[in-house]
Amino acid sequence: MFEAIAFYLFAFLTIVMFYIVVTTKQALYALTALAAGMIFISAFFFILGADFLGAVQIIVYTGAVMALYAFGMMFFDSTRDIKEKQGNKFIVVGLATLAAVLVVVIFAAPMVSENIVAFYPHVEGVGNTQEVGLVLFTKYLIPFEVAAVMLLVAMVAGIVLAGKKMDLSLTLMNAEEIKEAEEKNKKVLS
């Protein structure tokens, strides 16, 4: 009973938040609504017994990804209203629904057609975190290492891409120096 109440409550909240994300004209509202939606999604993971995944969802998505977006938005003028495509709305909504139904069919077809046998069934007497550790560090060790290397590569790429010209401080320069730096910047970048 409580599971049903929690499911419908968080489903409603998540859908509302994500609807705000895709429809609002203010980038800051979209950011805030997305962060709230991520937190609400972690509630589903807790309901489903995936405690570790829920904690990771809160820490990584709301803590790291949303903070990164918030810092990234300082580079853009996020106060301006966002323009949107003026297309046929029926085509857009129809295509989205069709694609989503297709994805669910892809997910559900193998399950309906045959009974799935669990590869790595739940271990009795241990919590979710221990189970995750057992499976992650035995069966999925190589993908785990590859993911670590990929995160390292992404970090280096982020530093290299965003860190250009970060040694200049606009607040410490006078107007002529700023103009000079702009000219040089234009020449280098164009």
- Interaction residues for another protein, span 4-23 (CB under 8 A): 4, 7, 11, 14-15, 18-19, 21-22
Q: Is 173 in the site for another protein (CB under 8 A)?
A: no
Q: Is 48 in the site for another protein (CB under 8 A)?
A: yes
DSSP state of 65: I
Shortest reach from residue 58's CB to another protein, in Å: 11
- The answer for residues whose C-beta is within 8 angstroms of residue 55's C-beta and 6 or more apart is 42
Residue nearer to another protein on the CB measure, 19 or 179: 19
**125-140 burial by CB neighbour count: b if 16+ within 10 A, else e?**
eeebeebbeeeeeeee
Q: Which of 109, 162, 173, 178 binds another protein (CB under 8 A)?
A: 162
Residue among 134, 160, 112, 128 at smallest CA distance from 53:
128
CA 22 from chain centre, in angstroms, equals 14
Shortest reach from residue 125's CB to another protein, in Å: 15
Shortest reach from residue 174's CB to another protein, in Å: 21
**Contacts (CB under 8 A) with another protein, residues 128-157:** 131-132, 135-136, 139-140, 143, 147, 150-151, 153-155, 157
Give the Cβ contact number of residue 53 at 10 Å.
Answer: 17
